[in-house]
Amino acid sequence: MKSRARRLARHSIDTTGHFQLMNILVPNNVHRDQPQLSNVDVQLLERLNQRDADPDFWSSRQRDRSDSGHRFFQYPAMMVPVVQRRLIKELIGVQSGVASIYDPFMGSGTTLVSGMHFGLSVYGTDINPLAVLISQVRTAKVIDGDVGRKLEKVVKRASADGSFVIETDIPNIDKWFKPEVAVELSRLRRAIRSIDASWARKFFWVALAETVRLAGNDRTSTYKLHVRPADEIARRDISPIVMFQSIGEGNIASLTAFREALRDANTVTGQGSYVADSRVRLLDVRGDLKERWMGKTPFDLVMTSPPYGDNHTTVTYGQHSYLPLAWIDFEDIDREADQGALSTTHEIDSRSLGGRGTLSQQDTDRLFDTSPSLKVFVESLSTASTKARNRLFRFYHDFSQSISQIAGVLRRDGYMIWTVGNRNVTGRQVPTDEILKEMLEGVRCAHVVTLSRQIHHKRMPTRNATSATMREEKILIVRKSRD
C-alpha cells in the first residue's frame, strides 16, 4: 500500500510541473514500528493529489479577505480559510464518522469557522484572551440579527457622551494614545457596556480591538509594541468613534455573508442556529486536556497551526494584543481570563509555549530521544548563544508536552493536520516539520504526508533577528494509530 502511495505522489509532481507549489512528501524513513499507510490514508493522498481546475490551489493568491469573518482583527499568522476547508473536505470525504474538530492553538479561529462549513462540532483553545474573544464571536451558535441596530445605538451613545473620564488604567497611556483618542475610546467602552446582550457586546469588543489597533500610537507594521515617531503622531487626525462604526459595519457585512454561506451549506437552521456544537475556551494546552474537555472528547479531527517558537523571539501575539485588551472587559471573555495577563506588555507571551522556565539535563536528554532532528540541529549550533539554545529547548519541551495532551484527546485512527513554518535561529533554519513529525510519531501517530505551500499573504514579523519571514509552510498530516 505504501509503495502505491509513493507512486501517486511522484506522478503528481512530475506531471504538474509545480514541484515548488504542490510538493507532496511521503515518508521515506519509516520508523521500524510505524504502521503501513492504511486504505484511508491512500484515498486521502489520492484526493489531495487530484489535478483539479487549479493546480496551484495550495499556494493560490486568490484570497477573500472577508471570508468567514477573517479580518475582524488583524491577528498574526492566520491560516487561510479556503485551504483549511479544502483539507477538511478531502478528509471527511474518505473517513467516516468525523463529527468534531479541535484546534488547540486556534488563534482567531480559522479552523473552527472552516469546520462550520461542514456542520462539524467545533472546539478551540488558546492562551490569549483576545484570540478567545475573536473566535467566540465568529463561531457563535446564534448571532444577533439586531446587531446592526445595536451598533447604531452604541455609536449614538458614544457620540453623545460628554465625559472625559478615561476608562483604562494602562500605564503610560499618553505614550500609546493621543488624549482625544483615549477620550473617544473611553466613550465607546462605556457605550458597549450599556448593551445587555452578551454576544453583541463581544462583537463590539472585537470591533473596538481593531479600532484600538488602528487608532493608537503603536506602529501597525510590527507585532512588537513600537511607538510611532512624534511628528507622525502629531499629523494623525483620527476619530475612533467614526473608525469603530466603519469597522463594525464591515464586520456585520462579513458575518452576514458567512452565515449565508453556512445556510447554503445547510449547517444553520431556518432559525439561524448552527446545527452542531461550538465551544471556545481560554486554556493552556500543556494542562490536562482530557479533564478540561470532559464529555466532549475524543475529538475526531485535530487541525491547527502552532507557534513556531517562543513568542518573544518569533511572533509576539501577546504584545500585539496588549493595547486592545486594555480596553476590553475581561469578564465578557471567559471565566478564566485574569487581569494578570496585562501585568506587563509581555506577560501573555511569557505564559505561552516556551515563554518561561528552566530545563534540567534530564528534560533535554528526553527531548533529544524524542526528536533526533532537534538534537542534530542543536549540536550544529556551535556558535549559538546559550540563551538561544535554552529558548529552543524550553519551547520544544513545552511543545512536546502539548503534543501528548493533544494526542490524548483525539480518537483512535483520527487525523491531525498541522500547518508549520520553518524559522531561523542564528541564521540557520530549524527543521520544524521534521521535529514535529518525530514528536507526533512519539505519541503513536503515523506520518501520512507533508504538503508544502508558498505563503503570499501570511503576516509575519519582518524585522526579527531570529525569525526570518517565512516563504514556505508545510502541512503535516498524521493519523493516530493506537491509543
Ligand X SMILES: C[S@@+](CC[C@H](N)C(=O)[O-])C[C@H]1O[C@@H](n2cnc3c(N)ncnc32)[C@H](O)[C@@H]1O
Give the distance, in angstroms, between the CA of residue 394 and the centroid of all CA atoms in the same chain: 21
Residue 435 touches ligand X, criterion: CB under 6 A: no
CB of 79 to ligand X, least distance (A): 4
Query: What's 228's DSSP letter?
Result: P
Within 13 Å of residue 233, how many CA atoms lie on the same side as its CB? 17
Question: For the chain, how far is it from start to end, CA to CA, in angstroms?
Answer: 23
Select from 127, 289, 342, 403 the one that contacts ligand X (CB under 6 A): 127
Residue 414 touches ligand X, criterion: CB under 6 A: no
Residue whose C-alpha cell reads 463581544 in the numeric block = 202
Burial 401-418 (b: 16+ CB within 10 A, else e): ebbbbbbbbbbebbbbbb
Select from 37, 42, 79, 132 the one that contacts ligand X (CB under 6 A): 79
Secondary structure of residue 53 in the 3-state scheme: coil
* Stretch in the footprint of ligand X (CB under 6 A) among 44-52, 120-128, 214-222, 271-279: 120-128
* Stretch in the footprint of ligand X (CB under 6 A) among 122-130, 167-175, 247-255, 451-459: 122-130
Residue 466 touches ligand X, criterion: CB under 6 A: no
Residue 78 touches ligand X, criterion: CB under 6 A: yes
* Stretch in the footprint of ligand X (CB under 6 A) among 55-63, 103-111, 151-159, 237-245: 103-111
Select from 27, 107, 124, 309 the one that contacts ligand X (CB under 6 A): 107
Q: Let me know: does 453 contact 340? Beta carbons within 8 Å.
A: no
Which residue lies nearer to ligand X by CB, 131 or 185?
131
Q: Let me know: does 321 contact 349? Beta carbons within 8 Å.
A: no
CB of 382 to ligand X, least distance (A): 30
Select from 124, 307, 324, 414 the one that contacts ligand X (CB under 6 A): 307
Select from 398, 403, 416 the least CA-distant residue to 481: 416
Which residue lies nearer to ligand X by CB, 79 or 181?
79
Which residue lies nearer to ligand X by CB, 105 or 258?
105
Residues 6+ apart with CB under 8 A from 223: 76, 315, 316, 317, 319, 320, 461
Select from 23, 68, 95, 110 the one that contacts ligand X (CB under 6 A): 110
Q: Which of residues 315-354 bind ligand X (CB under 6 A)?
A: 317, 352-353
Which residue lies nearer to ligand X by CB, 106 or 143?
106
- Judge residue 24's burial from the number of C-beta atoms within 10 Å of its C-beta, 0-12 exposed, 13-18 middle, 19 or more buried: buried
Which residue lies nearer to ligand X by CB, 138 or 480?
138
Residue whose C-alpha cell reads 504542490 in the numeric block = 22
* Stretch in the footprint of ligand X (CB under 6 A) among 6-14, 302-310, 384-392, 445-453: 302-310
Quote the cell numbers at residue 170.
494602562
Which residue lies nearer to ligand X by CB, 18 or 286?
286
The partner residues of 121 in beta bridges, in order of sequence, read 100
Select from 187, 178, 208 the least CA-distant residue to 324: 208
Residue 129 touches ligand X, criterion: CB under 6 A: no
C-alpha to C-alpha distance for 22 and 3, rounded to whole angstroms: 20
Pairing of strands 472-480, 445-454: antiparallel
Write the interaction track for ligand X spanning residues 252-291; mark x where CB under 6 A is met and - where it is not. Answer: --------------------------------xxx-----
Which residue's CB atom is positioned nearest to ligand X?
107
C-alpha to C-alpha distance for 301 and 92, rounded to whole angstroms: 10
Residue 126 touches ligand X, criterion: CB under 6 A: yes
Residues that bind ligand X (CB under 6 A): 75, 77-79, 105, 107-108, 110, 125-128, 131, 284-286, 305-307, 317, 352-353
